[in-house]
Amino acid sequence: MQLLSRITFPFIFLFFFSSTYAQTDKSLVQVTSKIESLEQLALAQLQNESKAIGLVLAAPQNTNGIFNLSINGEDQDVLFVNGFAEFELEVDHQGELVFITHQTSKGKAHKLYHYSKNDRTGYRLIRIPLWLSILPPLIAILLALVFKEVIISLFVGIWSGAFIAGGLKFGSFFFWFKSLFDTISKYIVNALNDSGHISVIVFSLLIGGMVAIISKNGGMTGVVQHLSKYAKTPKSTQFVTWLLGIAIFFDDYANTLIVGNTMRSVTDKFRISREKLAYIVDSTAAPVAAIAFITTWIGAELGYIDDGLGLLALDENLSAYGVFLKSLKYSFYPILTLSFILLLIKSGKDYGPMHKAEQRAFKTGQVSPAKTKNDDEPDMEDLSPVKGATIKWYNAAIPIFVVIATTIIGLLYTGISSIYAELIETKPNTLLGLSSVWGQMDELGYNGFFNKLGGLIGSSDSYVALLWASGLGVIMAIALTVSQRIMNLFDSMHWMTTGFKTMLPAIIILTLAWSLALTTSELHTADFISSSLQNAVNPYVLPMIVFVLAALIAFSTGSSWSTMAILYPIVIPTSYTISQANGLAPDITMELLFNCIATVLGASVLGDHCSPISDTTILSSLASDCNHIDHVRTQMPYALTVGLISLLCCGLSTFLGGGILISIVLMGISILAFYFLIKFIGSTVNEKS
């Protein structure tokens, strides 16, 4: 009965709220005399047999003049005469979602409309309140945190999104099943029908296969023994983990999988909980990848920043890379997160759920929470060395080095190829060789060594580089194993496929998380959140508003990249315009702009760290072999601690005049605050929490 109530509760919750608003929307569509504002759609009918829908918008009778509507991002002027306006809209299919925004005296009012079949009028429109768009991620996140089971939670979240996107038809049992089928046939399949997503899956599988081989051939045991020279205590072990997380700065996926898999055996030896390992892995991967000069993030970041700068009429010519570098002094959350981990390691103290996890691991030796709850729960495959394996650290170190080196080479090669294509477009009649690309990059606006290097990495195909690296890493692991006759080829392939199997749970979760992201994109969840919080008028408060906004969007969507894509085109021109409207000096205006750019990036990482549907958080749990919800539950208090201090720093920095000196002082004060916070509320594993 308890299990039944847990399963049915979310459906009852969704039914109660959604059915109420579905009935209201239906009456608004059918009873035109009750529509009193431009925010409510009155009538839609099919014209002829084409896909052009004739729309009639109803307003108060005295409404006359031209109003600007944005339909799926395209502006259109519509003439209202005596309270009515008519225009045509092209649709691709029945059931298509159309996002309509229009200007009113109160600013933008966002509404979402849905087409559905009606026997009498052909097509009619059902208005879906945009606030319903937050329900799918909210349901998934709450169920995951309450029931500590993420797969069914994500599936229910996707199902609720499919139900809302379909028009909230509670009157038809067929529609219930159709939305269930759409969850699989539409959202999950489309999530897999993405080359980037498939690349991540293949990369993860190959890394899992490589880890299994180098574990069975004794290489991983050799690495553990070698690292034990430096990792002699729990503190030094955690520091080595942190240092590796900083060293593999070029990609967060590679960072997470390599560091987590490499250090897991070492941290287990010193009774460090899997939750603590997952936290260190997760909280070094994205922060360092976000702020390093040359990473797989840089291309997306520069693209988003460049698009936002293109909306400004600036006299000075600012390059996206130059703006990114100038904004780094305001990257409070990534920098303070890395510092906070060091303070935790140095003090040997923890607080909150993490302290309980550390106590369990230290006192009982059970580093994984799953083992304490159910001894019958399946753990990862036994990857201890095969009988007779020679324990040589380089059998693991060489494949890992190959992955790192090949990734860097792949990034440079694909970047050069991309720049080469750009140069060919600008000089179609000139013969160029790949070797001459570096010298010709000045003509594309890349000046200086780091600017050119950043341009190459920014133009690279990181997915291709990661696939090359993981594939070559597996080949090297097999070659070392077979050549030394530790295992034959058949056994090596067997353990490679076993490594694939260990990655399957995370791949399922990743696929469902990507599917949920499709529903939030279709329902414009981020637009609702951003439009609800973006009306700040004080330019000095704007960075704090942006921080909260970015964190909420990243938490709800589970993606810092999509958060940057959504917010940069909004935040960059808004920051500049508000500063100019308030008469701020040009230098302060630019400092506010740099602050907002860095804040979007930093707060996106915070939202990722707190979200159970984030792909990097999921991969961190996988690489550390930690229960995913336990990882989120123990990491969240630490992330929110750093996030709160970072929020204050964002607001104070430009209020105090901005600049690198102010930022350094604020970071110093923040680190001092962390020190006293950990000292007074933290406890060692020998103390009670």
When comparing pLDDT for 213 and 3, which is higher? 213
Average pLDDT over residues 540-557: 86
Q: Above 60 in pLDDT, residue 186?
A: yes
**Backbone angle region of 82, left / alpha / beta, with phi > 0 → left and psi within -120 to 50 → alpha:** left
Please report where in the chains the tokens 């693209």 appear, as a residue: 303
Burial of 307 (0-12, 13-18, 19+ CB in 10 A): middle
The whole-number average pLDDT for the span 557-561 is 75
CATH 1.10.3470 fits 31-128, yes or no: no
Cα–Cα dist 358/273, whole Å = 5
Domain ranges of the chain: 3-16+134-192, 31-128
| pLDDT digit string, tens, across residues 48-99 | 334 445 555 555 556 677 766 666 666 667 777 766 666 666 655 556 666 6
Between 3-7, 167-171, 195-199, the lowest mean confidence (pLDDT) is in 3-7
pLDDT at 276 over 90: yes
Q: What is the pLDDT of residue 645?
A: 96
Of residues 649 and 503, more confidence is placed in 649
Bridge partners (DSSP) of residue 110 are 101
**All residues at 6 or more sequence positions from 16 whose CB lies less than 8 Å from its CB, including other chains:** none
Estimate to the nearest angstrom the gap between the alpha carbon of 127 and the chain centroid: 29
Beta carbons of 76 and 55 less than 8 angstroms apart: no
Strands 122-128 and 52-58, sheet pairing: unpaired
Instruction: List all residues 6 or more positions away from 638 whose beta carbon is below 8 Å from its beta carbon.
Output: 279, 283, 340, 344, 352, 354
Q: Quick one: 613 exposed, middle or buried, by C-beta within 10 A (0-12, 13-18, 19+)?
A: buried
The per-residue pLDDT for range 121-144, each reduced to its tens digit, is 444 556 677 777 778 878 887 777
What DSSP designation does 213 have? Answer: H
Alpha carbons 52 and 56: distance in angstroms, whole number: 13
How do residues 348-394 score in pLDDT, each as one tens digit?
Answer: 999 999 999 999 998 888 888 754 443 433 344 556 677 877 878 88
Query: Which helix (H) or strand (E) element contains residue 593?
Result: helix 586-610
Average pLDDT of span 531-552: 78
Integer Cα distance of 677 and 448 in angstroms: 43
Question: What are residue 62's phi and psi, to 5 degrees?
Answer: -85, 10
| pLDDT attached to residue 121 | 41
Q: Mean pLDDT over all residues of the chain? A: 75
Residues 170 and 174: their CA atoms lie apart, in Å, by 9
Closest by alpha carbon to 627, among 207, 211, 234, 150? 150
Report the predicted TM-score, pTM, of the whole model to 2 decimal places.
0.65
CA 110 to chain centroid: 24
